[in-house]
A and B are shown apart, each in its own frame.
Chain A
Amino acid sequence: MEILKQTDPTQKRSKKVFEYTNKIKLDQKAGLLYNDDQQLTQYYYSNSNKDVVFCKKIVKEKKMKRIVILLLAVTMLVPALFAAGKEEEKAVKVDADAPVTIEFWHAMSGTRIELIQGIVDEFMKKNPNITVKVQYTGSYNDTLNKVKSAVKAGNAPQVFQSYDVGTLGLIYSGIITPVDDAAKEFNLPIKWDDFFTPVQSYYKYQGKHYSMPFNSSTPLIYYNKTLFKKAGLDPENPPKTYADIRKAAVALKKAGIKTPVTWNLHSWYFEQMICLQDAPFVNNDNGRGKELPTKALINGEAGKKVLDWWVGMEKDGLFLDVGPGWSNHRAAFVSGEVAMVMSSSSDVNLLTKGLKEKGWEMGTGYIPRPEGAKGGVAIGGGSLWMTNTGTPEQQLAAIKLIEYISSDEPQIKWHKGTGYFPVRKTAMDKLKTAGWFEENPNYLTAFNQLLDSPESLNTAGALLGVFPEARSIIQSAIQECYAGKSVQQALDESAAKIDAAMAEWNTVIKQ
């Protein structure tokens, strides 16, 4: 793909080169595949001097790159071979009972700060030699930025929390230790089978788990049962498909609710609804393949279906555009302004309480899909990462800590306090036996939605290095559609922008 990027017309390369690459693209579409060098040689014989020089340069650069990569691979391999011998030595060296202090930075605000501190205190009671300094370091984004500067300054925490969309970046960051590697090194196997499939598969990259699932959520549909009854809809049977939602919205509108449906402007829903159709978001195995993703596939059939429906409802006055952020759609739902919202499953507590204050009853349902779609949800939220800093003793303490936080007791406590679901099936079983779901039936919806999700690279969730940027591109595109742009055009343009961002990231991350 290197050549395609370099011949972008905006970079003022020869027009001919651009035309030629277009031809290649067409050929590839038609099923003719040939590798870059062949393309170049073919071109090399068919064109003018200036372009030939340019192409030679590319070939040379490519060759250089290969040599460098080969050299790198060799230099990485040699110590690894030695390390194989060393490992046993290391295992002996680590004194598991020596007093050790580690730092843990997280991004959970408000009452969750106390909750995490409580969980960590419990951990320290069980491991008296380990002291954990817990610190709330602002939003996910702030935390990530602080970790980056701390790594540069040499005082990085041993454990930090990051968001789902930071995953690919961190995998290639060069500042972390994969959880599976640490588990192997210290011989502390992690029972990945205990975890919900979508939870563990999200953080698994090419067969290896890189971070420890911690706070996971999926979107859910929340609806106001009282208003559903008023509109003559069945309050025990939430809408399941795009057509169902639309039908319910029309009925609610007739019953006097001006704009019955809303959710906040967030690309997360769009991504999820692509997963539900078992379609990829980016190429190269949805970003989980051997090569880094280079092409956004959002402008395919799946993406178009989502936005045709979503934007269509907005245009017909069934959907209230509340803009970005996480408070407006909740407020609109709790005030009865709308009767149906999509939001994070971690909002169950908040929304149930809000509706109860008004004397209304709330129901939950799976997020909608087009008829016949066979995918599942991917999880969102955050996970715990280990940095590759500190002594072996600290690393050992770090993996013990994150393993503990993901275990049943803390996860149940976390679930009850926040609404995030526990990451392990075993924790769910314990909740079930304790009768938790009889008191709180709405929690069960999120679990069932997870259990009903098949494992595939598409439903594991896409990985791309420029995810935060891709999200704002998609959100802008949706707003452009509200303002009248055609869905296909908006998606095509966004895909092109994301492609450009990915191409750049793929180069920079290797420098």
Chain B
Amino acid sequence: MKQSTFKADVLPYVLLLPTFIILIVFLFYPAIETFRLSLFTVHPFTGAERFAGLYNFKNIFTNSEYLHSFGISFLFTLAVVLLGLAFSMMIALLLNERIKGMKYYRSFLIWPYALSPAIAGALFNFLFNPANGIIGYFTGHRTWLTEGSTAFLIIILAAVWKNLGYNIVFYLTALRNVPRDALEAASIDGAGPVRRFFSITFAFLSPTTFFLLVMNTTYAYFSSFGLIDVLTEGGPARSTNILIYQLYRDFFVNSKTGYAAAESLVLFLLVVGITVLQFQTTEKKVHYQ
């Protein structure tokens, strides 16, 4: 099929211009500016800059606390992605059944996605806070958020819960595309529900799973700041101080623009790296229709 082309030379560029202006002003310029600043030390008030080479990078990578944040961010992301995808796939499968009132169940289960991370944090605080949390009251155990290990589990739980709705919507759509005749044929051939799920349904879900894998990784690395700020402020003793929270504190509280810029470049490269890795390894196993 012959592709239709514009005859005029100028028109396509004019049409693209608005998009490019927005991209440049809100995305490329700030990003490049951030990368540039990572090579400078910046005065906290006047913004006066002084070239410092790799000073910022050298310091963050020799700081044991930053490396600790690196480690727990990785664990956090791993847990959020795996648990998030597993739970949402299970729930989506259940929501794909035909029972009465399914519309309502679906709405309720997708609803957490409509909350901002800060509100989600407030809800979990309501459950777990050490002074008057509901769960603390009923279990008699009050140190959920004031002990490192449980606090870490709770922010994982909150982050997973918060993003369930998003994942479920995509899985539900994908489940619509699983051909019924293939499933029926398999059951006639004697395949049980487990076998049918792994050999057929899962294969059809793989493109969506891959997409969600990438999206959830990004989510875990970049978007969980609000939860942590409300629930633990990175504590107790830095046990929930993931990279994005450290970055927030360095820029907005400690006014260390140079460090913050270096940290965001590191975070950026990290997520790009993971995504590329995912494309190279996982995508080969993805089955597109």
A321 to B130, CA, bound (A): 7
**Would you call A335 an interface residue if the criterion is a C-beta within 8 Å of the partner chain's C-beta atoms?**
yes
A328 to B232, CA, bound (A): 12
A-binding segment of B8-16, B157-165, B234-242:
B234-242
Contact assessment for B252 and A325 in the assembled complex, using a CB-CB cutoff below 8 Å: no
**Chain A residues in 8 Å Cβ range of B249:** 469, 472
Contact assessment for B45 and A508 in the assembled complex, using a CB-CB cutoff below 8 Å: no
Contact assessment for B46 and A174 in the assembled complex, using a CB-CB cutoff below 8 Å: yes
Contact assessment for A175 and B46 in the assembled complex, using a CB-CB cutoff below 8 Å: yes
**Would you call B41 an interface residue if the criterion is a C-beta within 8 Å of the partner chain's C-beta atoms?**
yes
Contact assessment for B237 and A480 in the assembled complex, using a CB-CB cutoff below 8 Å: yes
Contact assessment for A148 and B252 in the assembled complex, using a CB-CB cutoff below 8 Å: no
Contact assessment for B145 and A141 in the assembled complex, using a CB-CB cutoff below 8 Å: no
**Chain A's nearest CB lies how many Å from the CB of B2?**
52
**Chain A residues in 8 Å Cβ range of B47:** 148, 152
Q: A332-B131, A337-B131, A472-B249 are in contact. Are A323 and B48 (CB under 8 A)?
A: no
**Would you call A237 an interface residue if the criterion is a C-beta within 8 Å of the partner chain's C-beta atoms?**
no
Contact assessment for B253 and A468 in the assembled complex, using a CB-CB cutoff below 8 Å: yes
B-contacting residues, A479-511, CB 8 Å: 479-480, 482-483, 501, 505, 507-509, 511
Q: How many interface residues does chain B have, given as a range?
A: 20 to 34
A-contacting residues, B19-47, CB 8 Å: 41-47
Contact assessment for B235 and A332 in the assembled complex, using a CB-CB cutoff below 8 Å: no
B-contacting residues, A308-324, CB 8 Å: 320-324
**Chain B residues in 8 Å Cβ range of A265:** 235
A469 to B252, CA, bound (A): 11
A469 to B253, CA, bound (A): 7
Q: A141-B252, A169-B45, A509-B44 are in contact. Are A320 and B130 (CB under 8 A)?
A: yes
Contact assessment for B252 and A321 in the assembled complex, using a CB-CB cutoff below 8 Å: no
Contact assessment for A475 and B235 in the assembled complex, using a CB-CB cutoff below 8 Å: yes
**Chain B's nearest CB lies how many Å from the CB of A326?**
11
A10 to B54, CA, bound (A): 14
A-contacting residues, B218-277, CB 8 Å: 232-238, 249, 252-255
By beta carbon, the residue of chain B nearest A321 is B146
Contact assessment for A479 and B132 in the assembled complex, using a CB-CB cutoff below 8 Å: no
**Would you call A351 an interface residue if the criterion is a C-beta within 8 Å of the partner chain's C-beta atoms?**
no
**Would you call B50 an interface residue if the criterion is a C-beta within 8 Å of the partner chain's C-beta atoms?**
yes
Q: A479-B235, A479-B237 are in contact. Are A320 and B131 (CB under 8 A)?
A: yes
By beta carbon, the residue of chain B nearest A176 is B45
**Would you call A476 an interface residue if the criterion is a C-beta within 8 Å of the partner chain's C-beta atoms?**
yes
A-contacting residues, B83-131, CB 8 Å: 129-131
By beta carbon, the residue of chain A nearest B50 is A511
Contact assessment for B41 and A323 in the assembled complex, using a CB-CB cutoff below 8 Å: no
Contact assessment for B148 and A483 in the assembled complex, using a CB-CB cutoff below 8 Å: yes
Contact assessment for A466 and B254 in the assembled complex, using a CB-CB cutoff below 8 Å: yes
Q: A321-B143, A322-B131 are in contact. Are A482 and B236 (CB under 8 A)?
A: yes
**Would you call A350 an interface residue if the criterion is a C-beta within 8 Å of the partner chain's C-beta atoms?**
no
Contact assessment for A324 and B235 in the assembled complex, using a CB-CB cutoff below 8 Å: yes
- Selected from B131, B142, B146, B254, the residue in CB contact (under 8 A) with A329 is B131
**Chain B residues in 8 Å Cβ range of A170:** 45
B128-147 CB mask vs A (1 if < 8 Å, else 0) is: 01111000000000110111
**Would you call A331 an interface residue if the criterion is a C-beta within 8 Å of the partner chain's C-beta atoms?**
yes
**Would you call A145 an interface residue if the criterion is a C-beta within 8 Å of the partner chain's C-beta atoms?**
yes
Contact assessment for B254 and A479 in the assembled complex, using a CB-CB cutoff below 8 Å: no
A337 to B129, CA, bound (A): 13
**Would you call B62 an interface residue if the criterion is a C-beta within 8 Å of the partner chain's C-beta atoms?**
yes
A190 to B47, CA, bound (A): 33
- Selected from B42, B130, B253, the residue in CB contact (under 8 A) with A323 is B130
**Chain B residues in 8 Å Cβ range of A320:** 130-131, 142
**Would you call A101 an interface residue if the criterion is a C-beta within 8 Å of the partner chain's C-beta atoms?**
no
A59-92 CB mask vs B (1 if < 8 Å, else 0) is: 0000000000000000000000000000000000
Contact assessment for B129 and A173 in the assembled complex, using a CB-CB cutoff below 8 Å: no
**Chain B residues in 8 Å Cβ range of A468:** 253-254
A455-469 CB mask vs B (1 if < 8 Å, else 0) is: 000000000011011
B-contacting residues, A142-158, CB 8 Å: 145, 148, 151-152
Contact assessment for B132 and A331 in the assembled complex, using a CB-CB cutoff below 8 Å: yes
Q: How many interface residues does chain A have, given as a range?
A: 35 or more
A329 to B146, CA, bound (A): 13
Q: A329-B131, A337-B132 are in contact. Are A476 and B43 (CB under 8 A)?
A: no
**Chain A residues in 8 Å Cβ range of B129:** 322-323, 328
**Chain A residues in 8 Å Cβ range of B232:** 323-324
By beta carbon, the residue of chain A nearest B140 is A258
By beta carbon, the residue of chain A nearest B40 is A511
A466 to B145, CA, bound (A): 27
A235 to B131, CA, bound (A): 24
B-contacting residues, A129-169, CB 8 Å: 141, 145, 148, 151-152, 169
**Chain A residues in 8 Å Cβ range of B148:** 483
**Chain B's nearest CB lies how many Å from the CB of A239?**
22
Contact assessment for B44 and A169 in the assembled complex, using a CB-CB cutoff below 8 Å: yes
**Chain A's nearest CB lies how many Å from the CB of B65?**
8
**Chain B residues in 8 Å Cβ range of A321:** 130, 143, 146
A-contacting residues, B47-67, CB 8 Å: 47-48, 50, 58, 62
- Selected from A332, A335, A511, the residue in CB contact (under 8 A) with B41 is A511
Contact assessment for A322 and B146 in the assembled complex, using a CB-CB cutoff below 8 Å: yes
**Chain A residues in 8 Å Cβ range of B130:** 320-323, 328
A78-119 CB mask vs B (1 if < 8 Å, else 0) is: 000000000000000000000000000000000000000000
**Chain B's nearest CB lies how many Å from the CB of A355?**
15
**Chain B's nearest CB lies how many Å from the CB of A308?**
18
**Chain A residues in 8 Å Cβ range of B236:** 323, 479, 482-483
**Chain A's nearest CB lies how many Å from the CB of B236?**
4
**Chain B residues in 8 Å Cβ range of A508:** 41-44
A332-375 CB mask vs B (1 if < 8 Å, else 0) is: 10010100000000000000000000000000000000000000
A172 to B145, CA, bound (A): 38
- Selected from B45, B143, B233, B254, the residue in CB contact (under 8 A) with A175 is B45
**Chain A residues in 8 Å Cβ range of B50:** 511
**Chain A residues in 8 Å Cβ range of B233:** 323-325, 472
- Selected from B46, B62, B252, the residue in CB contact (under 8 A) with A145 is B252
A175 to B253, CA, bound (A): 18
A290 to B200, CA, bound (A): 76
- Selected from B45, B131, B142, the residue in CB contact (under 8 A) with A174 is B45
**Chain B's nearest CB lies how many Å from the CB of A65?**
13
Q: A466-B254, A472-B249 are in contact. Are A511 and B146 (CB under 8 A)?
A: no
A325 to B146, CA, bound (A): 12
By beta carbon, the residue of chain B nearest A468 is B253
Q: Report the 5 A-B pairs with minimum CB-CB distance, sorted nearest first.
A: A173-B45, A328-B131, A479-B237, A332-B131, A479-B236
* Further contacts, 5 of them, CB under 8 A, given A141-B252, A482-B146: A148-B44, A148-B47, A152-B46, A323-B235, A328-B132
Can you list 8 A-B contacts (CB < 8 A)? A152-B46, A172-B45, A469-B249, A469-B253, A479-B235, A479-B237, A482-B146, A483-B148
